[in-house]
Structure 1
Amino acid sequence: MKMSTHRCFLKMSRYRRTTFAIITIALTSTLFLSSNTSLSWITSRYYDHRGYLMSRSEEQQFNLQEIAKTLRVPHEINTFNFDKFKKEYLTYIDPGSIVVTKDNIKIGQQVGIYFNKNAKVTVDEKLYNLLPDAVPLKKSYSTCSLVGSSGILGGSGCGKQIDNADFVLRMNLPPLTNYSADVGIKANLTTMNPSIIKKRYYYLHRKKDKDSFMNNMKEFKTYIYIPVFATSNGYALSIKVAEAFTNTKDYPIKPLFMHPSHFLGSTSFWRDNGITATRISSGLYMVSVALTLCDKVNLYGFWPFHKDHNNLTVEYHYYEKPFVPLPKVHKFAEEFSNLLELHNKGVLNMHVGTCDEQPNVVS
């Protein structure tokens, strides 16, 4: 009886299997490239499936040149529209619950994990002892910069303008020092997804990983804002990170935990205003945080498109060029449309292009 091709392959020696595989790949590549197909086609298909933040069909709904033109027109906050928006938004959230404190949570209290259905954790002394007595942030900051990570910031020269705000919010520990001319260096409140600890720092298991993490975090100076109740796995990592900060003498960073009621209240607000996604993005949530804390909000690096208004490619992040699968849980077209509407109503101010082109920061 004849053996199958698969069984014959397995019977080969390791050397012969390797040689066979190399020849097969070479022949396949030659045949593929000879059939009126070029490497440029492969490259374009690769970039076509990077996804960025929305699909190409969604992106085609927007006129990027007109949007950029609108965003570069001198702009002021419309006090009436801002107050109207804030009044509605505050019916969904309590500003005093923006972070978890000893005032708004108790030992023994059960708290739901909002991205893991039906999962709960019980607040213990370890968590409770890491909390501030009360919210350590001002009830209101005059001007705020909220900085996204889009590659649109590359070459923008917006660093000084960003840092001129009273309070600067950033997302997911983006590198600053080598990009300060474009993104600034000031960081008052910076989010940290616990998954970063898993991916970049091996759960802080090894001393070298912990040392590397602690050294890199010094760039952010003030508060790290952690979604402790987002996922079951993230809960333990969040505690571990907070303990590392707290137990390091004279360390410049203090951990703050996101309160689930503020996140869930903000989510409900945006869903009632047209966001149909499974969950809102961290960017839209931080817009919510900025509008909770600030009288005037300037957004930088919020550009969910793969091209800019001059039809030049925009990288996903200003600091790296990762492969980006199309996300399934967010609706960035809907989110951007909402933000654009808020800009047009004078509730906040979005920036695009260089800061020399757009000196209209609200202050």
Structure 2
Amino acid sequence: MLVLVVVTALGFDFTNGFHDTANAMATSIATGALKPKVAVALSAVLNLVGAFLSIEVALTVTNAVVRIQGSDGAPKQEIVGDGGAGLLLIVLAGLAGGILWNVLTWLLGLPSSSSHALFGGLVGATLAGPGVSGVNWTGDGSKLDGVVGKVLMPAVMSPVIAGVVAAVGTWLVFKVTAGVAGRVADRGFRWGQIGSASLVSLAHGTNDAQKTMGVITLALIAAGDWSDTESIPFWVTVSCAVAIALGTYLGGWRIIRALGKGLVEISSPQGMAAQSSSAAVILASSHLGFALSTTHVATGSIVGSGVGRPGAQVRWRVAARMVTAWMITLPAAAVVGAVMWWAGDLVGGGLPGALVVFAILCGLALGMWLRSRRASIDHTNVNDEWTGPAPEPVAV
């Protein structure tokens, strides 16, 4: 069971990589600052490096979602019982919920949150298993901790903060450079985009790679192979860093296209302002241990860059579609996680249950991947003209 959980967790990490490449590189690809394949290669390397810079978010995932201890510090047997098999099935089912939502939203070209898909899956599987008391809603109750303080509040606040910062930054950039020749300014901002995109990739590694580290550590605790809830095994850090880097290099071109071409007809100054805003918010949150959604931050920044540009236009219908996906991500993944747990429990749990969950996951993911081959998007057509809804003017 532990092997299945670790393999599935690394599979989630891989999907997180290709699902979230767009957060760092969509605007640089859209403006031509970087060639598509160069962009994803650079992002992959920096995600790999970023994964080693902090463990605060990993510890949040290990301790702030599933309540593995009682008030006296002793293990809660209704969750960890059966030699840890109960908690391992919860973790496996939660991962399955996260992966399936990631693959579905990638198929649809929707930049939804991999983080909330993971947390939703874990919460749903926990609710289906030990019940409401198994979810660590507020930590010790004396501060904003647990799922509410570390997951839900950052989910609401981070895209708003990033959008405001990007809007102000974009407005200032255009104000300051109003008298600079267009070609000179554009060349400088493209170099700025490369730097800011690199910083976002590094920040993504410090935040998202750690979520899988936390899940694997939680599984090791359940299996009795690890007991320290304040550190992460080094082999876990290395394997998660490699998995997210490989996924990032794969590209996730559907979502890169949606973010780079679908929201705003973006220019280099906007791209630099959006990416700088994203990097600042993500790095600050990683330092504080907030497991926020880098997708929400990046999307909020791009919309903010459109709002902040004089005479800009934003495709609000596309933005509304993305926000809808944000709102349903956590509950939808929770439902899938719960269904997966029930499927595993139906055959008696334990290893047979884990094998059933794993088989269902592989079958559904393979089906969606085959469906994506009917209308392929890759590095050769990611920057083709957008054919969706027309942009709408923004009053500035």
Name the TM-score, length of structure 1 as normaliser: 0.27
Which is greater in Rg?
1
**Relative contact order: is structure 1 or structure 2 higher (C-alpha 8 Å, sep ≥ 6)?**
2
TM-score normalised by structure 2 residue count? 0.25
Normalized per residue, the structure richer in strand is 1
